[in-house]
Amino acid sequence: MLAATQPAPATARMARSGRSEWQSSCAILTSKVVSQEQSESLPVPPVSGGVDHVPAVNGNHSAARMNLVPIEKSDSNPLVLQQHRQKPLSMSDLSPAPMHGSNLRVAYQGVPGAYSEAAAGKAYPNCQTVPCDQFEVAFQAVELWISDRAVLPVENSLGGSIHRNYDLLLRHRLHIVGEVQLPVHHCLLALPGVRKEFLTRVISHPQGLAQCERTLTKLGLNFAREAVDDTAGAAEFIAANNLRDTAAIASARAAEIYGLEILEDGIQDDASNVTRFVMLAREPIIPRTDRPFKTSIVFAHDKGTSVLYKVLSAFAFRDISLTKIESRPNHNRPIRLVDDANVGTAKHFEYMFYVDFEASMAETRAQNALAEVQEFTSFLRVLGSYPMDMTPWSPSSSSYTPS
């Protein structure tokens, strides 16, 4: 496990200053995030200092905005409301950074019981997890020394890429220092005593709904599907509001935390359902050659996508295998116009290209490949060179018990 980096002197002074100063800093952070979102022409709800005004994610309200109160089992009452369970971190209530010597703090998006929490526990077994209500908050938590690392999903074997996090990787200056591949084992959850024939809807993260669509149909559960921010948040929402007509798609751990029963186990459409997470830090790690490494880059060219073939040839010539290629709109220049006096104006969409390849930046072949890529591109950035996840394959194992 990587040791936590010591806070910078300015951060240490912030931690010792009054809470009013810290809240002012958070307010500045929030305003910067909002202005940055608006500059990219993305619709952003107003952000203020209260939890009730946390913006929606994926078009849905976060668990914090719904004022959800987690529940857990007890001997006297199986559903006892807990007023002090850890809630997701939001822009308005970021706490000061941990002092030197504290346990490694790892930010993730979601609430306790989320698959991202399990991934954080796999990446850093002895860590203190920090739930965040948005992906953006997890990035900012690391940048502000509130967390030492962030563990965030980037792709799923069934649902594909998580585009939001690819955009945030480019916007922020964090470095990828590792990866975790987590088998995803979905369950259909409901309140105790609820039978499947009484259900009228199922809620989950959009990826969770997509990954179980065929299985739900085979089970005859053809009721309404509704998307929420995360899988565990769906379980929390049902428990807090005593919804006896609603089921959630989430993990078995979420059922345990929020006092729900498992109506169906393993409802993902494919047993090979794996989500890949990346581990983010403020500083990069030193690449090595004594174990398999992966390197992630992003590049663009001001003359469009015609350069892509040349870039890929730089890797093929050196026998470097690509494991991922992803294109995303270039927000700084979304359209390139080419005027032709004879036929008119051609409009070309401009893209950023994300590529993962199996080589360490400590290897000469990787250095030479990127030197060649740089000749063909107008923009090139190494997001990280990091160890590959080489853990044994066990698709049925997705449980996680925090320390």
Task: Please give the positions annotated as active site.
Answer: 275, 277
Length of the chain: 403
- CA dihedral sign of residues 189, 190, 193, 198: negative
